[in-house]
Amino acid sequence: MALLKSNKVISCLGNISPALGVLSSRNSSWWGGVQMGPPDPILGVSEAFKKDTNPKKMNLGVGAYRDDQGKPFVLSCVRKAEAIIAAKQLDKEYLGIGGLAEFTKCCAQLALGNDNEVLKSGRNITVQTISGTGSLRIGANFLSRFHGGPRDVYLPKPSWGNHTPIFRDAGMQLKAYRYYDPSTCGFDFKGALDDISKIPEQSVIMLHACAHNPTGVDPKPEQWKEISDLVKKRNLLVFFDMAYQGFASGDIDRDAWAVRYFIEQGHNILLSQSFAKNMGLYGERVGGFTVVCGDVDEAKRVESQLKILIRPIYSNPPMNGARIASTILSTPDLRSLWLEEVHGMANRIIKMREQLVAGLQKEGSTHNWQHVIDQIGMFCFTGLKPDQVERLTKEFSVYMTKDGRISMAGVSSGNVGYLAHGIHAVTK
């Protein structure tokens, strides 16, 4: 009976005014004013690649390692660590806000070195994050809330595309310093020093620890030393992004050299780490964020505030990838195997660079392609212009971003000759 009366009321209300129905309809479309956002440039490349029917097509846009057959590669040390973890039949309880303690310890040791004074004195705090992106965002939020200096973050020009929205969406302001020299396809050392010397004191400067993304151009040790001296003179807060430790040169200590040198010189840095590339744990989302503090007490206070920042975002990080990474790093046999495998991945990339240049020379190219060999890491800034990239895509089905950046991981012994042929055709 109550339901019948309710239906009568609804029926009656429906006859009161047609305008009420229109208003209701309008109110149901809460997001009518939302505009279509621009497509992600890298995902756009992948979508176009998928639609291409050319059997020789190449996708050089996505930054994920492939073996020499062009297949996704799972490291043997990862499979063995997974088996060890599975055999223990561990629970699936929540991790603490700061993550898996065994992982954060190994994470800091890998970056800073086991004998680092910072670790011995306990004046660092490392929290587990959702890969490198999550680490950067936690760092950006921390800066936004607690950094007492200017709200400016100075990025190298160019920098990883996601750096800008990460810091911008956290309320920081983005500025740039010169880094890449298009005329040499190398490091603009003079321009970088000139711009850094003018950065206002207490500003934040972002540095890529190794395998600069997207250019593959890194400073040499002597250049790092001058940058360190200048940054200290300007009293700038250093934020290192280290997404490729081990993957760049094949040597974990060489790739972490700049980070360790800056700390040795007295810089209390911020550091983001990712285990996506160097352990192939892309989908596991494993990362760390470290703050080097003045003393143990400061580290404890910073830790408390990092937990307060993390709690309303994702409460606590996922455990599986952290268990895999910590098992590898803390088990001597697995660690040795990992070092062999990451060295192998880096070497394959280096060989593809050498073979690409050799192929271009064989094609008869008269251009200087030495920068392809000199650059390091997953990415190569080829120096190709947008119109040349467009031709390479249309005529040869070779897909890359318009700035001429290619992922060397997509190059194999089976297609490097075809790539060299295409590049020569559009640059001769």
Catalytic residues: 160, 241, 277
DSSP-H helix ranges across 235-331: 252-255, 257-264, 296-314, 320-330
Q: How many residues does the chain have?
A: 428
- What are the tokens at 110? 């890998």
User: Which residues lie closer than 8 Å to 409 by C-beta, 6 or more apart?
Assistant: 63, 64, 65, 66, 349, 378
Element (H, E) at 389: helix 386-396
- What are the tokens at 383? 């120096």
Q: What interhelical angle do 320-330 and 101-112 show, nearest 10? A: 50
Number of Cβ atoms within 10 Å of the Cβ of 176: 15
Strands 237-242 and 398-399: unpaired
- What are the tokens at 354? 């050498």
Number of Cβ atoms within 10 Å of the Cβ of 290: 26
Question: What is the rounded CA–CA span in Å between residue 192 and residue 230?
Answer: 11
47-69 burial, b at 16+ Cβ within 10 Å, e below that, comes to eebeeeeeeebbbbbebebbeee
Number of Cβ atoms within 10 Å of the Cβ of 152: 16
CB 328 within 8 A of CB 279: yes
Q: Which residue type, as a one-letter code, is found at position 368?
A: N
The Cα-based distances of 65 to 224, 280, 377, 389 in angstroms read 28, 7, 11, 22
CB 323 within 8 A of CB 85: yes
